[in-house]
């Protein structure tokens, strides 16, 4: 091969194609299939130490097939009005995630809230006066189809505010092997903001809910990527039991301000704890259905996982898949930023958030030895149901070297995050493996 024909392969691409082969090529690491721990030869350990820049006290406990957290960060930035520091995944439609250290606030600021689009947002000039934005309520199980302007919604119904966690169902997709198609989210397709609006159930009851109602579906003003007005970019929904929860909102407010444009201004649905795809943006219609909603991206394989565990790479029939509902338990380290240098003589205070779909987080534990041992963190109660919970832990390191701080949350039903990527699925959904950051101790 000539010099011009040679192609440089980055570490992310190498691990994405074949994590085990990447381990061999870069570090000479072999993996025990029983424990999934990696065995580094002296030359491989020396290479990793040289690359990272210090010794690795718990190298023997490092799982195989994982990029060291010190090498996993990227500085690729994406500029978009009203947003700062987000990483681009796609520009048509626009999708961008938030680096973990920018999610350190108790409530995610608008500038740091991730962007997940399926279509093209309506142009701002077509939105016009938000007070005149129209929401239609209908469907075969709606007894009194009604249209409301945003101004009428605000005037007619009581206002409510809740801190609600929204997470893309594909958050963490980039870690699945073999790779799954779709936006290669790492950890940043999540946020928790205070949403203000009216309860969905109050509006539905005003319009009348028939006894045969089982589901609601939404429609938004975002255009299909093809530009075909006959096609919907996305039209999903939730069962009536979720729609009628107190926290399910038709929202116009975000942390006391208008909802950011890319996050659904001027009106959106918010159903916290479920995939964010159930929280329709640029909301202009809700239908009450006597069947499971059949809008765009409701049917498998969209937002669906196999009913039973399957081997990686398995083709799964749509009939053997189930729609994702409540999201699994998960957590993030938001402070410090991955890659810091820290003094051996000082304790390190780490903090972050944890959440668990429809339920709550019971425990959070942290590890500095690649998950061999764990110590408990202090976990706060949520502001309200479906808000993420804040945790904090103080760590001491036994000697200088390279460390990774891992965090693991356990929900109120006793389910814990897995240390490694969980069950593979064709679309790369629901990865709730432990988050980790790199720390150099000197």
Q: What is the pLDDT of residues 300-357, one digit of tens each?
A: 999 999 999 999 999 999 999 999 999 999 999 999 999 999 999 999 999 999 999 9
What is residue 5's predicted lDDT score, i.e. its pLDDT? 36
Burial of 219 (0-12, 13-18, 19+ CB in 10 A): buried
Q: Domains plus CATH for the chain?
A: 11-67 (no CATH), 78-323 (3.90.420.10), 330-441 (2.60.40.650)
Token pair 């779709």 is found at 182
Beta strands, E only, 297-434? 304-306, 321-323, 330-335, 340-342, 348-355, 361-367, 375-376, 378-379, 389-395, 401-411
Beta strands, E only, 265-347? 268-270, 283-289, 304-306, 321-323, 330-335, 340-342
What is residue 17's predicted lDDT score, i.e. its pLDDT? 66
Distance CA 160, CA 202 (A): 11
The 8-class DSSP code of residue 123 comes to: P
What is residue 1's predicted lDDT score, i.e. its pLDDT? 37
The residue ranges of the chain whose pLDDT is under 70 are 1-17, 25-26, 29-43, 51, 71-79
Q: What's the token pair of residue 32?
A: 């025990």
Total-model pTM: 0.86
Contacts for 346 with CB less than 8 Å, ≥ 6 apart: none
Distance CA 319, CA 322 (A): 8
Q: What is the pLDDT of residues 48-83, one digit of tens each?
A: 777 677 888 888 888 777 777 776 654 444 457 899
Whether residue 240 contacts residue 271, with contact meaning beta carbons closer than 8 Å, is answered with no
Distance CA 248, CA 269 (A): 8
Whether residue 245 contacts residue 201, with contact meaning beta carbons closer than 8 Å, is answered with yes
What is residue 53's predicted lDDT score, i.e. its pLDDT? 73
Q: What's the token pair of residue 71?
A: 């090498």
């Amino acid at each position: 091969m000539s010099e011009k024909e040679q192609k440089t392969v980055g570490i992310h691409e190498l691990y994405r194609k074949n994590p085990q082969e990447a381990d061999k090529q870069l570090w000479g690491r072999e993996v025990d299939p029983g424990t999934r721990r990696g065995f580094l030869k002296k030359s491989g350990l020396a290479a990793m130490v040289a690359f990272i820049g210090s010794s690795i006290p718990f190298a023997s406990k490092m799982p195989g097939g994982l990029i060291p957290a010190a090498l996993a960060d990227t500085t690729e930035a994406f500029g978009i009005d009203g947003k700062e520091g987000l990483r681009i995944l796609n520009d048509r439609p626009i999708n961008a995630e938030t680096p973990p250290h920018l999610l350190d606030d108790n409530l995610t600021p608008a500038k740091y809230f991730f962007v997940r689009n399926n279509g093209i947002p309506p142009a701002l000039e077509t939105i016009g006066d938000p007070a005149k934005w129209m929401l239609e309520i209908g469907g075969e199980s709606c007894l009194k189809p009604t249209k409301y302007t945003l101004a009428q919604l605000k005037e007619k119904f009581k206002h409510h505010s809740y801190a609600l966690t929204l997470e893309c169902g594909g958050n963490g997709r980039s870690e699945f092997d073999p790779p799954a198609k779709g936006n290669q989210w790492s950890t940043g397709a999540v946020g928790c903001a205070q949403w203000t609006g009216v309860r969905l159930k109050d509006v539905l009851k005003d319009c009348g809910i028939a006894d045969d109602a089982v589901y609601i579906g939404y429609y938004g003003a975002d255009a299909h990527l093809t530009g075909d007005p006959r096609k919907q970019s996305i039209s999903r929904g939730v069962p009536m039991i979720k729609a009628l929860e107190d926290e399910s909102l038709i929202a116009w407010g975000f942390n006391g301000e208008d909802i950011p444009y890319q996050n659904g201004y001027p009106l959106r649905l918010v159903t916290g704890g479920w995939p964010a795809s159930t929280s329709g943006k640029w909301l202009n219609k809700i239908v009450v259905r006597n069947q499971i909603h059949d809008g765009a991206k409701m049917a498998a394989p969209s937002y669906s996982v196999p009913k039973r565990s399957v081997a990686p790479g398995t083709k799964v029939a749509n009939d053997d898949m189930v729609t994702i509902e409540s999201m699994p338990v998960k957590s993030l380290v938001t402070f410090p930023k991955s890659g810091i240098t820290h003094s051996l003589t000082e304790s390190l205070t780490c903090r972050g958030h944890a959440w668990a779909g429809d339920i709550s987080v019971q425990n959070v534990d942290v590890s500095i030895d690649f998950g061999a041992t764990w110590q408990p963190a202090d976990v706060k109660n949520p502001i309200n149901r479906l808000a993420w919970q804040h945790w904090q832990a103080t760590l001491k390191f036994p000697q200088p070297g390279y460390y990774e701080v891992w965090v693991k949350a356990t929900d109120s039903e006793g389910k814990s995050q897995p240390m490694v990527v969980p069950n593979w699925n064709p679309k790369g959904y629901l990865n709730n493996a432990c988050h980790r950051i790199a720390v150099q101790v000197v």
